[in-house]
């Protein structure tokens, strides 16, 4: 990797740089010709620094291995302008956008640089292809609630806005967390790479001293709503976005840092927030939350769901999902999460549906309809169908559909779906549905 | 192969689906699936279903991965660290109550909490300020800025300058002296207060909006800038049903609603008329019932007199009343308000009757004869209502007198009655005899029913129903 540093130092001369490059990472059976070509390439790219936006290159990631990236943005890292003094915001093409980050030039393997030719041609042509490409990109990232009203131009603008994370890190309670996505904080906060959140009221500040001063006066030790569930150290609070507008907005700003497909377009007063907390003698610490529309026309029982990164993979997400369905059962309705689901969200939901449905199928003796399954679980019939079909448990035989519930097959699927996480003890849920609240 | 060659019927979610529990059930059923599994495992088909599954699970472990929890957990995510100062920043002062915590009102309603936190700009200004005269701590500055924001908000409220959304720079309306007076209780020296006020005002003018987030107006609904967030949702767009959502607040909707209103008004007028008509009908029916009750009464009194034919006479009456009711039931609604001017058409029902042999011309003449005196009122009614007996000739009074035949005298009028219980009417019978029939003028029926009365009936019941 030292080779790259050499490459970036023009005063060493192109030839020396090239040799060093190949000395560092020479392919054991690489031909002379190939070596020459690579020499020429790195030499020319070294001369063409800084790299253009759109360039594709290999980049050393945190696992110390090279991964293909695409340059999204670049900026000067210091005031004095040398072509090497740039940082690059890169997207690892193998991974989700949440891993996009600013990297130093030394992390990039300039031997592998290639301009994003396709894109350039498309750019010039501004043809159908370009539109389709744009469309796809937009579809992938922005099929969001509330955005249907925006025209394509605004969407592209949005894409442009959100392509680079504005806040790199946050401090929340006892964790300093790398953020995942852009979040539209008020413009006054855009010049800070790190924000300090009050763990309880979720107010955010730019300096640690400001947070410490805030902590002295902050009168909250738990989310500002009603506790509706308590089991051991775990508590769930219901916060009405209308009654606690600033809290709801703070939560949305925070959550957007970890949710790509979330919009903060509309105000929070039409939502209820369910905050899951771990409680100790310092207060109730938020581990995750989900939001829910007060009145949903499409029978959504969940709008956004998030487990904060330090608490992920501990079963909290599954608990939140299970909780949302318990609320639906209390309301006597079937529910479904708002789409699109993120990669992590889909995994969690698939796991939950699989566990719930297969447990029933294991025990159930007589024939059963999808509707009955839906009534028992509050899971929407479409979700039941898609789950069973994806596991290949619904088959068409002799002119009728049957459910194949071989216990061994079910066990295998259940094992693959993972542990159920923390269970919701319904007897500890003390809750009145919003419509019945005074 | 065969399984995929046709398209399965769409699945009905209400239909009960059989659950196949045993692996053998579908291995036997489905050679394709079994073959596939067998190929994957690399064993012969002879193995039992359970063996196959076990083997399949084994291969999965070896490197034939199915999407599983293991894979899911491999989705890489950004990292996090611990904060060293955490234990100092957050104090151990929370005691969880034994009952579930109930939320209080929002902070704004509780009052004394200072919502404002100093930002970098404030801190830097304060540092400069204190370098000259060390006399203001950050907490005090927070309080002052918070109160200034609030007083200004109230001033704008009073001036009616609060806009529901952000449509332009939000001006500062709070004056220094007013603020000073209102915040006297904070006991801040005038020079300090003035400096803070000026700093605050300059900052407000730079920001062009309140610095306290809660007081900043939300962006307007039609603002598409993605940086601007938390728009108010228009109520019209968030109605609870789709039907309500479809109606927008525009000219077309207005016209549509006006049409609806006009239709409803018309319907209301129509219903009013209908109610009036039905009431009239009921009144008419009551009159009719009363009339018939009186007729019945007279009939019975007549029967007492004419005891010999009472039974048959009663039958005659009842059948007649029955048929007259039928007439009303059949009659068209539109004519019921003026039933007395029913056009003289023959009811189809009569075509089967013996009467059909009578030429229409004659009927017409008869009817004209009857209608003429009717115009003069009820008093003359008894004359036209006298039975027209077929195959008889009316008596000529002049000839009777010449022949020395006298009409039988009317029976004595009973007390309270206006008319005698019966009258007599003379005619020449088929055999050439002169016959006097007793005739009840009120019931309009002959009190003695002879051979001829059956012929009379169809004629007799025509007049009373539509015309009488």
Residue A291: strand pairing partners: A273
Containing H/E element for B204? helix B190-207
A420 contacts on B by Cβ (under 8 Å) = none
pLDDT of residue A427: 94
B90 contacts on A by Cβ (under 8 Å) = 173-174, 199, 215, 282-283
Nearest by CB: A283 against B15, B94, B207: B94
Query: Which of A181, A406, A413 to probe the B interface (max B CBs under 10 A)?
Result: A406
- Which one of A131-135, A351-355, A398-402, A405-409 scores highest in mean pLDDT? A351-355
For each of the domains in chain A, give its residue range(s) and CATH number, in order of start: 2-115 (2.30.30.140), 120-162 (no CATH)
CB contact under 8 A, A309 and B21: no
A252 contacts on B by Cβ (under 8 Å) = 229-230
- For the question of whether the overall pTM of this predicted structure is more than 0.90, the answer is no
* Position A425 confidence tier, pLDDT thresholds 50, 70, 90: very high
B222 in reach of chain A (CB within 8 A):
no
A183 contacts on B by Cβ (under 8 Å) = none
Nearest-neighbour CA in chain B from A118: distance (Å): 28
Asked whether the predicted pLDDT for residue B324 surpasses 60, the reply is no
How much is the average pLDDT of A353-361? Answer: 93
The Cα B42–Cα B411 span in angstroms is: 125
B2 in reach of chain A (CB within 8 A):
no
The Cα B327–Cα B210 span in angstroms is: 85
How much is the average pLDDT of B197-217? Answer: 92
Out of A175-189, B209-223, B245-259, B282-296, pick the least confident. B245-259
The Cα A75–Cα A81 span in angstroms is: 11
pLDDT of residue A24: 37
CB contact under 8 A, B19 and A409: no
Question: Is the torsion defined by CA of B328, B333, B339, B343 positive or negative?
Answer: negative
* Residues of A noted as catalytic: 338
Burial of A254 (0-12, 13-18, 19+ CB in 10 A): buried
- Least Cα distance to A353 among A255, A341, A46 occurs for A341
A412 contacts on B by Cβ (under 8 Å) = 53, 56-57, 60
- 119-138 in B: which are within 8 Å (CB) of A? 119-120, 123, 138
* Position B423 confidence tier, pLDDT thresholds 50, 70, 90: low
> How many Cα atoms occupy the beta-carbon half-sphere of B464 within 13 Å?
26
Residue B395 makes CB contacts below 8 A (sequence gap 6+) with B426, B427, B428, B434
- Which one of A283-287, B3-7, B238-242, B298-302 scores highest in mean pLDDT? A283-287
Integer angstrom CA distances of residue A327 from A314, A330, A331, A335: 22, 5, 6, 9
Residue B215 makes CB contacts below 8 A (sequence gap 6+) with B149, B150, B153
The Cα A402–Cα A192 span in angstroms is: 58
Residue B439: strand pairing partners: B423, B446
B8 contacts on A by Cβ (under 8 Å) = 396, 401
Asked whether the predicted pLDDT for residue B226 surpasses 90, the reply is no
Query: Which of A195, A318, A416 to probe the B interface (max B CBs under 10 A)?
Result: A416
Asked whether the predicted pLDDT for residue B245 surpasses 80, the reply is no
Is the CB of residue A245 less than 8 Å from the CB of residue A287? no
pLDDT of residue B417: 54
Query: Which of A257, A265, A348 to probe the B interface (max B CBs under 10 A)?
Result: A265
- Least Cα distance to A378 among A431, A338, A325, A337 occurs for A325
- Which comes out higher in pLDDT, residue A237 or B348? A237
CB contact under 8 A, B13 and A267: no
Other CB atoms within a 10 A radius of the CB of residue A106 amount to 14
Tell me the per-residue pLDDT of B273-323, one tens digit each, with 9 for 90 and over: 999 999 999 999 999 999 999 999 998 888 777 665 544 444 444 444 444
The length of chain A, given as a count of residues: 438
Nearest by CB: B229 against A179, A184, A245: A184
Backbone φ and ψ for B435, nearest 5 degrees, come out as -120, 135
- Least Cα distance to A108 among A92, A97, A119 occurs for A92
A370 contacts on B by Cβ (under 8 Å) = 11, 13-14, 17
B111 in reach of chain A (CB within 8 A):
no
* Position B338 confidence tier, pLDDT thresholds 50, 70, 90: very low
* Position B239 confidence tier, pLDDT thresholds 50, 70, 90: low
The Cα A221–Cα A203 span in angstroms is: 13
Is the CB of residue A204 less than 8 Å from the CB of residue A189? yes
Residue B99 makes CB contacts below 8 A (sequence gap 6+) with none
* Position A417 confidence tier, pLDDT thresholds 50, 70, 90: confident
A208 contacts on B by Cβ (under 8 Å) = 85
Residue of A nearest to B28 (CA): A397
B4 in reach of chain A (CB within 8 A):
no
Is the CB of residue B464 less than 8 Å from the CB of residue B382? no
Tell me the per-residue pLDDT of A127-164, one tens digit each, with 9 for 90 and over: 344 444 444 444 444 333 334 445 566 556 656 777 88
pLDDT of residue A25: 39
Question: Is the torsion defined by CA of A257, A259, A265, A271 positive or negative?
Answer: negative
Nearest by CB: B20 against A175, A207, A403: A403
B235 in reach of chain A (CB within 8 A):
no
Query: Which of B21, B34, B82 to probe the A interface (max A CBs under 10 A)?
Result: B21
Angle, CA A147 vertex, CA A384 and CA A206 arms, to 5°: 105
Nearest-neighbour CA in chain B from A303: distance (Å): 16
DSSP A6-58: HHT-GGG-HHHHHHHHHHHS--TT--HHHHHHHHHHHHHHHHTPSPPTT-EEE
Tell me the per-residue pLDDT of A195-251, one tens digit each, with 9 for 90 and over: 999 999 999 999 999 999 999 888 889 999 999 999 999 999 999 999 999 999 999
Q: Exposure pattern of B85-122 as b/e (b: 16+ CB <10 Å)?
A: eeeebbeeeeebeeebbebeebbeeeeeeebbbbbeeb
Other CB atoms within a 10 A radius of the CB of residue A185 amount to 20
Is the CB of residue A403 less than 8 Å from the CB of residue A393? yes
pLDDT of residue A26: 39
CB contact under 8 A, B13 and A371: yes
Asked whether the predicted pLDDT for residue A399 surpasses 60, the reply is yes
pLDDT of residue A188: 87
- Which comes out higher in pLDDT, residue B328 or B302? B302
Nearest-neighbour CA in chain A from B138: distance (Å): 9
B69 contacts on A by Cβ (under 8 Å) = 351, 416-418
Tell me the per-residue pLDDT of A5-53, one tens digit each, with 9 for 90 and over: 333 333 333 333 333 333 333 344 444 444 445 455 555 656 667 888 8
Nearest by CB: B231 against A179, A187, A266: A266
Query: Which of A266, A334, A405, A417 to probe the B interface (max B CBs under 10 A)?
Result: A266
The Cα B38–Cα B56 span in angstroms is: 9
CB contact under 8 A, B76 and A99: yes
CB contact under 8 A, A176 and B81: yes
> Which strands make up the sheet holding A108-114, listed edge to edge?
A101-104, A86-92, A66-76, A56-60, A108-114
pLDDT of residue B60: 37
Asked whether the predicted pLDDT for residue B337 surpasses 70, the reply is no
Tell me the per-residue pLDDT of B89-137, one tens digit each, with 9 for 90 and over: 888 888 888 899 988 766 655 567 888 999 999 999 998 888 876 678 8
Is the CB of residue B437 less than 8 Å from the CB of residue B446? yes
Asked whether the predicted pLDDT for residue A268 surpasses 50, the reply is yes
Containing H/E element for A108? strand A108-114
pLDDT of residue A261: 80
The number of C-beta contacts closer than 8 angstroms across A and B is: 264
CB contact under 8 A, B120 and A206: yes
Each domain of chain B, given as residue ranges in start order, spans 1-75, 111-215, 283-467
B406 in reach of chain A (CB within 8 A):
no
B104 contacts on A by Cβ (under 8 Å) = 224
Q: Is B18 helix (H, G, I), strand (E, B) or coil?
A: coil
Give the ipTM. Answer: 0.75
pLDDT of residue A126: 41
- Least Cα distance to A55 among A109, A135, A128, A131 occurs for A109
Cα distance between the two ends of chain B:
89
Residue of B nearest to A205 (CA): B119
* Position B244 confidence tier, pLDDT thresholds 50, 70, 90: low
pLDDT of residue B7: 67
The Cα B309–Cα B450 span in angstroms is: 10
Nearest-neighbour CA in chain A from B335: distance (Å): 54
Burial of A298 (0-12, 13-18, 19+ CB in 10 A): exposed
Nearest-neighbour CA in chain A from B82: distance (Å): 5
Q: Mean pLDDT in chain B?
A: 69
Is the CB of residue A285 less than 8 Å from the CB of residue A199? yes
pLDDT of residue A208: 93
């Amino acid at each position: 990797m030292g080779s790259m540093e050499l490459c970036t130092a023009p005063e060493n001369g192109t030839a020396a740089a090239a040799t060093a490059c190949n000395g560092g990472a020479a392919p054991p059976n690489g031909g002379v010709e190939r070596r020459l070509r690579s020499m020429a390439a790195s030499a020319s790219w070294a001369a063409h620094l800084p790299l253009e936006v759109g360039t594709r290159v290999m980049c050393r990631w945190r696992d110390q291995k090279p991964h293909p990236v695409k340059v999204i943005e670049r900026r000067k890292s210091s005031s004095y302008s040398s072509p090497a003094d740039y940082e690059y915001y890169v997207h690892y093409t193998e991974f989700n956008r949440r891993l996009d980050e600013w990297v130093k030039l030394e992390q990039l393997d300039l031997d592998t640089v290639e301009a994003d030719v396709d894109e350039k041609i498309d750019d010039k042509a501004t043809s159908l292809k370009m539109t389709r490409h744009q469309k796809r990109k937009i579809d992938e990232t922005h099929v969001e609630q509330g955005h249907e009203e925006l025209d394509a131009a605004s969407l592209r603008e949005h894409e442009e806005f959100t392509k680079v994370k504005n806040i790199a890190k946050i401090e929340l309670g006892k964790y300093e967390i790398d953020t995942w996505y852009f979040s539209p904080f008020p413009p006054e906060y855009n010049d800070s790479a790190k924000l300090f959140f009050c763990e309880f009221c979720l107010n955010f500040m730019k300096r640690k001293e400001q947070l410490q001063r805030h902590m002295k006066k902050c009168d909250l030790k738990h989310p500002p709503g009603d506790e509706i569930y308590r089991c051991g150290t775990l508590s769930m609070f219901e916060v009405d976005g209308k009654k606690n507008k600033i809290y709801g907005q703070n939560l949305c700003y925070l959550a957007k840092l970890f949710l790509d497909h979330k919009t903060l377009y509309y105000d929070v007063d039409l939502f209820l927030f369910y905050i899951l907390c771990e409680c100790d003698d310092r207060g109730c610490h938020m581990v995750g939350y989900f939001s829910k529309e007060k009145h949903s026309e499409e029978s959504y029982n969940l709008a956004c769901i998030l487990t904060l990164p330090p608490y992920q993979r501990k079963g909290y997400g599954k608990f939140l999902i299970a909780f949302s369905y318990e609320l639906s059962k209390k309301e006597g309705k079937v529910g479904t999460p708002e789409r699109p689901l993120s990669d992590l969200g889909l995994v969690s939901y698939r796991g939950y549906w699989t566990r719930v449905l297969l447990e029933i199928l294991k025990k159930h003796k007589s024939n059963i309809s999808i509707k009955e399954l839906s009534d028992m679980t509050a899971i929407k019939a479409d979700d039941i169908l898609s789950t069973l079909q994806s596991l290949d448990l619904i088959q068409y035989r002799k002119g009728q559909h049957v459910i194949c519930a071989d216990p061994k097959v079910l066990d295998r699927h259940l094992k693959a779906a993972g542990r159920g996480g923390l269970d919701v003890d319904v007897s500890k849920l003390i809750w009145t549905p919003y419509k019945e609240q005074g | 192969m065969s399984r995929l060659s046709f398209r399965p019927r769409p699945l009905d979610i209400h239909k009960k689906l059989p659950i196949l529990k045993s692996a053998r059930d579908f291995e036997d059923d489905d050679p394709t699936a079994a073959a596939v599994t067998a190929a994957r495992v690399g064993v012969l088909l002879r193995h039992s279903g359970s063996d196959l599954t076990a083997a399949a699970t084994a291969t999965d472990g070896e490197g034939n991965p199915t999407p599983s929890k293991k894979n899911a957990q491999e989705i890489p995510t950004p990292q996090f660290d611990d904060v060293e100062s955490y234990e100092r920043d957050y104090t151990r002062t929370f005691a969880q109550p034994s009952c579930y915590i109930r939320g209080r009102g929002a902070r704004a309603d509780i009052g004394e909490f200072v919502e404002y936190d100093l930002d970098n700009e404030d801190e830097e200004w304060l540092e400069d300020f204190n370098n000259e005269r060390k006399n203001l701590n950050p907490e005090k500055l927070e309080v002052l800025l918070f109160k200034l924001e609030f007083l200004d908000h109230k001033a704008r409220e009073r001036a009616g300058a609060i806009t529901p959304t952000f449509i332009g720079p939000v001006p500062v309306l709070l004056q220094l002296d007013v603020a000073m007076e209102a915040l006297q209780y904070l006991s801040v020296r005038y020079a300090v207060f003035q400096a803070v006020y000026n700093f605050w005002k300059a900052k407000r003018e730079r920001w062009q909006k309140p610095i306290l987030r809660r007081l900043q107006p939300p962006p307007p609904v039609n603002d598409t800038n993605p940086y601007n967030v938390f728009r108010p949702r228009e109520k019209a767009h968030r109605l609870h049903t789709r039907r309500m959502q479809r109606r927008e607040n525009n000219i077309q909707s207005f016209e549509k609603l006006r049409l609806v209103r006009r239709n409803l008004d018309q319907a209301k007028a129509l219903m009013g008329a209908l109610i009036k008509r039905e009431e009239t009908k009921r009144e008419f029916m009551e009159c009719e019932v009363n009339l018939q009750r009186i007729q019945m009464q007279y009939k019975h009194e007549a029967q007492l007199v004419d005891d010999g034919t009472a039974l048959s006479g009663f039958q005659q009456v009842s059948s007649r009343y029955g048929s007259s009711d039928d007439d009303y039931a059949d009659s068209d609604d539109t004519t019921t308000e003026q039933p007395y001017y029913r056009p003289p058409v023959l009811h189809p029902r009569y075509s089967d009757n013996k009467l059909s042999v009578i030429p229409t011309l004659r009927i017409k003449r008869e009817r004209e004869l009857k209608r003429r005196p009717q115009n003069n009122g009820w008093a003359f009614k008894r004359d036209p209502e006298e039975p027209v007996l077929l195959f008889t000739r009316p008596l000529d009074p002049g000839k009777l007198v010449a022949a020395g035949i006298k009409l039988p005298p009317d029976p004595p009028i009973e007390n309270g009655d206006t008319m005698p219980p019966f009258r007599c009417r003379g005619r020449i019978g088929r055999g050439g005899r002169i016959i006097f029939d007793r005739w009840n003028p009120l019931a309009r029926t002959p009190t003695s029913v002879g051979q001829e009365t059956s012929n009379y009936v169809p004629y007799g019941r025509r007049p009373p129903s539509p015309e009488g």
